[in-house]
Amino acid sequence: MGIKRGVFVILGLLMMANLAMAADGDDEKILTKTVKGKKLCTQGWECRVWSTYCCNETISKVFQVYQFEDLFSKRNTPVAKAVGFWDYQSFIIATTLFQHLGFGTTGGKLMQMKEIAAFLGHVGAKTSCGYGVATGGPLAWGLCYNREMSPMQSYCDDYYKLTYPCSPGADYYGRGALPIYWNYNYGAAGDALKVNLLEHPEYIEQNATLAFQAAIWRWMTPIKKSQPSAHDVFVGNWKPTKNDTLSKRTPGFGATMNLLYGDSICGKGDIDEMNVIISHYQYYLDLLGVSREQAGPHEMLTCAEQEPFNPPTPAVPAQSSS
C-alpha cells in the first residue's frame, strides 16, 4: 500500500497542477503578510508556501514553454533515447517543491534566469546525445536520455547496508535529469521526496516530474551540513572561508561543478568534460536572451584549478598479520 500510495500522490499532484495551470493561466495573485518585520508571500499553486522568495516572479513567468523548447529542441527526435518523456510542464511542476526555498526565485529576473540556465546547463550536458557534428550542434541535444543505457554494474554499495540497504533485484544505475547513481543516493533522494526510491529506483525513469524533482533536490541540498549547496554558491548565499580561498574555490558556476562532481572533473585543468558543461550553460544563456557575458569572468565559470570540496577518502592500507 505504501508504494502504491506514493505513486498515487505523485499522480494526484500532477493532476492538480494541470488543472491549476489550465484554470489560472498567467495571472496568479500574490498574497503578502509581514512576520517580525519580514515580508512573506505566497503565489498560487506554483509558490504556495509563505516565503520571501514567493514575493518574486514565479519560474513560469520568467521561463516559458517556448524557451524550454528552444533549449531542448532535439529531445523528441527519432534518434533520441527518451522520446516523449521530458516536457516543460513536468519541469514546472517539479519546481513547486523548491520555489519557496529560492530555486529560480532568488534575486531579480536576471539572477532567476541565470540560475535556471545554470541548472539546466548541467542537466543538458549530463543527458545529451549530441556528439561531434550532430544536427543542430552538440549543444542542442539535452534531455536525450533519462537513464544509463549500458550499465556495467548494479551500483550497490554494501557499506550502507544498515541505512540504505540494496533492495533485491533493484539496480541503482544512473537515472534522471542529473543522473542518480548508487543505493545511498537513491535512498537519500527518496527520503527527501517521500518516495520509496530504494525499493523502486525505476520510478525515476518512469516519471519526468519525479526525475526533475530529484535533480533539483540535488542542486538545492548540501552534501554535508557544513557545506553550501550548488544553489548557494551560485546565487551568492555562500561566503568562502580562508581555506576555500586558498583552495581556489570561489562563488559562481565553477563551484557548482565542484559540489556536484568533485574531483571527477575539478582540479584537473582545462578538460573537455568540464568545458562541455560550461558550454551548455553559456549556450542556454544566449538562447534565453541573457547573454553569456552575464556568466561572469573565467575564474567564476571554471573549476579547473579548484580543490574539491569533498576530496576522496584515501584507502587505508591493510595491516600486516605478521
Q: What is the DSSP letter of 25?
A: T
Give pLDDT tens digits for 141-171: 999 999 999 999 999 999 999 999 999 999 9
Q: What is the pLDDT of residue 122?
A: 98
Q: What is the pLDDT of residue 137?
A: 81
Q: Kindly report the three-state secondary structure assignment for every residue of 37-84.
A: CEEEEEECCCEEEEECHHHCCCHHHHCCHHHHHHHCCCCCCCCCCCCC
Considering only CA atoms, give the Rg of the chain: 20
Q: Concatenated DSSP letters for 146-201? A: SB-SS-SS----GGGTTTSPPPTT-----BTTTTB-SHHHHHHHHHHHTS-TTT-G
Give pLDDT tens digits for 261-271: 999 999 999 99
Distance CA 188, CA 101 (A): 19
Closest CA to 48 of 39, 202, 69, 40: 40
Q: What is the pLDDT of residue 132?
A: 63
Same fold, 58-145+222-310 and 148-207: no
Average pLDDT of adjacent 10-residue blocks, the chain of 322 residues: 44 46 57 94 96 97 97 94 97 98 97 98 95 74 96 93 95 97 97 97 98 98 93 97 96 97 95 96 96 90 95 53 36
Work out the angle at residue 141's Cα, subtended by the Cα atoms of residues 137 and 144, and round it to the nearest 5 degrees. 155
Distance CA 121, CA 68 (A): 12
Per-position b or e across 84-105, b if 16+ CB within 10 A of its CB = ebbbbbbbbbbbbbbbbbbbbb
CA distances to 1, 34, 51, 106, 269 from 31, rounded to whole Å, are 37, 11, 11, 18, 49
What residues does 47 pair with on adjacent strands? 43
- Just give the CATH number of 58-145+222-310: 1.10.530.10
pTM of the predicted structure, to 2 decimals: 0.89
Task: State the amino acid at position 159 in one-letter form.
Answer: Y
Q: What is the pLDDT of residue 2?
A: 44
- Just give the CATH number of 148-207: 3.30.20.10
Distance CA 3, CA 5 (A): 5
User: Domain spans of the chain?
Assistant: 58-145+222-310, 148-207
What residues does 175 pair with on adjacent strands? 147, 180
Q: What is the pLDDT of residue 254?
A: 98
Q: What is the pLDDT of residue 215?
A: 98
Distance CA 134, CA 145 (A): 15
Residue 22, C-alpha cell as written in the block: 489550465
Closest CA to 171 of 150, 188, 192, 189: 150
Closest CA to 303 of 281, 280, 270: 270
Distance CA 322, CA 306 (A): 42
